[in-house]
Amino acid sequence: MDRLIYLDNAATTKTAPEVVEAMIPYFTENYGNPSSVYSFASKNKDAVTEQREIIARALGAQTNEIYFTAGGSESDNWALKATAEAYEAKGKHIITTKIEHHAILHTGEYLEKRGFEVTYLDVDEKGRVRPEDVEAAIRPDTILISVMFANNEIGTIEPIKEIGQIARRHGVLFHTDAVQAFGQIPINVDEYCIDMLSASGHKLNGPKGIGFLYIRKGVKIRSFVHGGAQERKRRAGTENVPGIIGLGKAVERAVASMAERSAKETRLRDYLIGRVLEEIPYCRLNGDAKDRLPNNANFSFQFIEGESLLIMLDMKGICASSGSACTSGSLDPSHVLLAIGLPHEIAHGSLRLTLGEETTKEDIDYVVDNLKEIVARLRDMSPLYEDFVKKNNR
């Protein structure tokens, strides 16, 4: 078996060869500390600034509103914890949703233990947050609303513009975890009234361990890492120069190819969804059919365990996921699938396939052909399915 079909791009992506190429000189030759005075090193400061400009342009932001971090989780932690600290005199209430990434949910729990109150909003059966629910949850002591741009498991794109406008109207800060959306769909922080935005390099064909937090000018947010004066004294530590260069390159690529890539991925995604729903019985699509990330398909197969499905797909060289990478390994079904109202037994039989820029129609055909066979085989071994067939044949 040599074939490897990677359909887990929501977990991470392949670092693009041009990205790696752009990074290498910053390990081998240009290794100077950007804070040093001599030109050998200080030119790295300029290189870092250039990447900040590329990212700012991609978001319609200003260069000095981009703060480099070690990735999406750090950006999410920073946005919540530092806002909580900086605005607690105004109030201690934060609004978020039940379908956020654990970097948000677990930070919310952390803050609850420290006297903050967090409202976790429900979503509808497509995984959509209702803007009117956001508005109804706002109180005089609400300091922050955090709603993800697009969900990492079911791909649903949230009504961010409406939510941003509501937050703005009520004078409440608005943060969005755009780790899955940035580089996939156009985002403008002014148009969407976004005050803070998290993104990560490795979800857009960039390196791991690098990301950024956009913080709108004027937002009072505290330093997250104390030490040197890097990142305008808000996040100390010698810059991860190769990572920042790689992130900038990845963003540049993603923006340049966005329209074409998203059209191609949407076509392949819809082809995949169409074939699966048509050819495999007792199966459903999770998330919204239209308002979804171009590369995301998420299905539930009745009478099947997602884990067994993953193992059998793996034997065919297919990399997929049954929930998010962080939830696999635990026996609880995904919090996102439960939030959209799936019963436990249906949620357990779920499969997430996320396409990448290299995915082809041949890959999709290979995957669907194998999936059909595997689902049929697993159902043949399932006592639940046997009972179901017996009842229905009567």
Show which residues are catalytic.
326
Q: How far apart are CA 392 and CA 394, in angstroms?
A: 5
CB contact at 8 A, 298 and 153:
yes
73 is in an annotated binding site: yes
Residue 158 sits at φ, ψ, to 5 deg, of: -85, 155
3-class SS of residue 391: helix
164 is in an annotated binding site: no
Of 200 and 240, CB closest to ligand PLP: 200
CB of 240 to ligand PLP, least distance (A): 13
Give the residue closest to ligand PLP by C-beta: 72
Of 180 and 359, CB closest to ligand PLP: 180
Contact set with ligand PLP (CB under 6 A): 71-73, 76, 101, 103, 148, 152, 177, 179-180, 200, 202-203, 211
CB of 12 to ligand PLP, least distance (A): 7
Residue 205 sits at φ, ψ, to 5 deg, of: 65, 25
* C-alpha torsion angle, residues 356, 358, 361, 363 (rounded to 10): -80
CB of 203 to ligand PLP, least distance (A): 6
201 is in an annotated binding site: yes
Of 177 and 252, CB closest to ligand PLP: 177
326 is in an annotated binding site: yes
Burial of 166 (0-12, 13-18, 19+ CB in 10 A): buried
User: Within the chain, what is the greatest distance between any pair of CA atoms?
Assistant: 85
CB of 43 to ligand PLP, least distance (A): 28
152 is in an annotated binding site: yes
**Residue from 78, 74, 76, 108 nearest 93 by CA:** 108
CB of 176 to ligand PLP, least distance (A): 10
DSSP string, 324-384: -TTTTTSSSPPHHHHHTT--HHHHHTEEEEE--TT--HHHHHHHHHHHHHHHHHHHHT-HH
200 is in an annotated binding site: yes
Of 131 and 206, CB closest to ligand PLP: 206
Q: How far apart are CA 70 and CA 209, in angstroms?
A: 5
DSSP string, 115-130: T-EEEEE---TTSPPP
Of 92 and 101, CB closest to ligand PLP: 101
Q: How far apart are CA 183 and CA 203, in angstroms?
A: 9
Q: How far apart are CA 184 and CA 177, in angstroms?
A: 14
CB of 303 to ligand PLP, least distance (A): 29
C-alpha Rg value of the chain to the nearest Å:
22
Of 91 and 186, CB closest to ligand PLP: 186
Binding residues for pyridoxal 5'-phosphate: 72-73, 152, 180, 200-202, 238
Annotated binding site: 72-73, 152, 180, 200-202, 238, 326
Binding site as annotated, residues for [2Fe-2S] cluster: 326
